[in-house]
Structures are given as C-alpha cells and as structure tokens.
Structure 1
Amino acid sequence: MTAIDLIYQQIKRSRRYVFERKDFDNFASYDQIGRVLKKLVDRGVLMKIGYGLYTKSTINSLTNKPMPTNPGGTDAIMREILRMRGVDFEMDALTLKSINGQSTQIPASIRYKWNPKQFNRNLKVGNRVLSKRQ
C-alpha cells in the first residue's frame, strides 16, 4: 500500500476529527507526509486549519467547497484543538448559562479565553477564526 492509502485509511478509521502532521510520522518521511496531506486537502478529505493541523471534511453539495464533518460544528473542532494542546480555557458567560440550562438563549458563537502563553496561534475553520484576541 502507498503512503496516501495508509494515511487515508487512518483518517477514515479514526474517531477523532482533528489531526496533527506528527500523527502520521510512522507511515512515511516528513516530506512525503506533507505531499500526501496536500493531496488529501485538494481532494476534500481534509481541511487545513492551521500550521500542522487538519480536520476531516467533505465537499458541500451546494457550494462545492470543503466543510468540516464534525457533528458539533466548528466550535467542537476548536474545543478539540485546545484540549489536544493541553490548553486550559474558559467559555463566555452566556454560553455557560445556555449549557447549564439557566438561559434559553443560544449564543451565535462561543468565545473562548485562555492564557496566550499556552497557545499562541490563529486557527481558521471555514469562516470561524480562533485567535488569542477573542
């Protein structure tokens, strides 16, 4: 089997939605992994969301552009990334009230707060941007 087949099968079998480039180190060399990931991004199997970070995706039938496959949406992807990196984060008060059942209002987007010394990157999933300035 080729490296692209091995990495593709690994992605399809995984329950995770976010992957790092180093997750595939045992399949091929660094350069070859980069080429394979680029091919998978071009095919719409993966979306690049940041330096060395990728998420599973499918092609949207209406826009013909890739979109994340995580059932929790972009906010679930953001939380998965922060947990993967071991970053302690907090959600805004309105979101916490909604989750705890203290409010019937559902926030349009969730804002996160964390120590920028722990995580100092800008990530983009579709139109949603996660940055330290939130």
Structure 2
Amino acid sequence: MDQTLKQRIRTRVSRTKKTDVFIPRDFADLSGGDQVLRALRALVKDGALIRLGYGVYARAVRSRLSGRVMVSSSNGFHGAALQALNKLGVPWEQGDSTQAYNLGQSTQVPVNLTVKVGKRFSRRLSDGRTELRVER
C-alpha cells in the first residue's frame, strides 16, 4: 500500500527524535521541492507542524488548555529557534542580556530570547506570539 507524500513526511517527522525543527531539504529524497512544500503546507494546516519562518517548520502539538497549536519542543519556541539556527548553519551566541544574567552581572531575567549572529541573517523566526530577536 503506497503512502502519499504527506503521510511519508508525517511519518518521518514522528520518527525523528533528535530534532524538533525541519527544513524542506530534510525531505528532498522523498519528492521534488514543490511537492514537498505543498505537503508541508498541508501538515501546517492539519496542525502537525507549525511554520516558524521561511522554510523552517517545527513539530507541533495542540495545547490542552487553549486548544491552540504550539511548538512541541522541550524548551518551547526558544529551543526550536536555536535548533533552527543550528540547522541553517548560522553561528550564534547568547545576547548581551542573557550573558549578563548567566554571569551574575544582572538580576533582571531576560524575557525575550536574544541571540548574536556571526553572519548575515535576515529571516524572521516566530511562532505567532514570540519572535527571535537578533543582535548585530
């Protein structure tokens, strides 16, 4: 029994344990680029994936409290955003406010995830509520 491309991508997403973030290149062996993007859009519509940005998708789960689709990562959106940067090959380090807090130089807890990127990075990563802030 042949599976559709959407079913094969859903199966691969559910079986992959080491990452919660996916890019279309991860599924290039299954079909052509246009078909993979169409299947990813359908999985976003179904609530199996959530789109974080251009060409970046994360495993999703429906919240038991609100019923909204949210990122299914151990560290939520922040963990998924950092995984996305790693997967895209973007060198990064923690932002100044996070570094100051971790070193004990500040008692103010950083609310938003802020990272410094080592090279040009113009994408926006967001889960609809929270956005990754990039320092230069």
Above 0.5 in TM-score? yes
Identity %: 29
Q: What's the C-alpha RMSD, in Å, of the aligned pairs?
A: 2.3
Distance 1:121 1:17, change over 3 A: same
1:72-91 mapped onto 2 (5 Å cutoff): 72-91=75-94
Measure the CA separation in 2 of the matches of 1:133 and 1:106.
18
Q: Which residue of 2 aligns with 1:58?
A: 61
1:35-54 mapped onto 2 (5 Å cutoff): 35-54=38-57
**Bigger CA drift: 51-60 or 122-131?**
122-131
- Shift in Å at residue 88 of structure 1? 2.1
Work out whether residues 67 and 126 of structure 1, in 8 Å CA contact, stay in contact via their aligned partners in 2.
Answer: no
Distance 1:95 1:132, change over 3 A: closer
**Bigger CA drift: 83-92 or 97-106?**
97-106
Give unpaired runs (5+ residues) of structure 2: none
Give unpaired runs (5+ residues) of structure 1: none
1:1-134 mapped onto 2 (5 Å cutoff): 1-15=3-17, 16-99=19-102, 106-115=109-118, 117=120, 119-132=121-134
Work out whether residues 116 and 132 of structure 1, in 8 Å CA contact, stay in contact via their aligned partners in 2.
Answer: no
- TM-score normalised by L of structure 2: 0.82
Report how many residues are paired: 133
Work out whether residues 113 and 132 of structure 2, in 8 Å CA contact, stay in contact via their aligned partners in 1.
Answer: no
SS at match of 1:87: coil
SS at match of 1:71: coil
Distance 1:96 1:132, change over 3 A: closer
SS at match of 1:74: helix
Work out whether residues 89 and 113 of structure 1, in 8 Å CA contact, stay in contact via their aligned partners in 2.
Answer: yes
Distance 1:91 1:133, change over 3 A: closer
- Shift in Å at residue 92 of structure 1? 2.6
Measure the CA separation in 2 of the matches of 1:122 and 1:84.
15
Work out whether residues 121 and 132 of structure 1, in 8 Å CA contact, stay in contact via their aligned partners in 2.
Answer: no
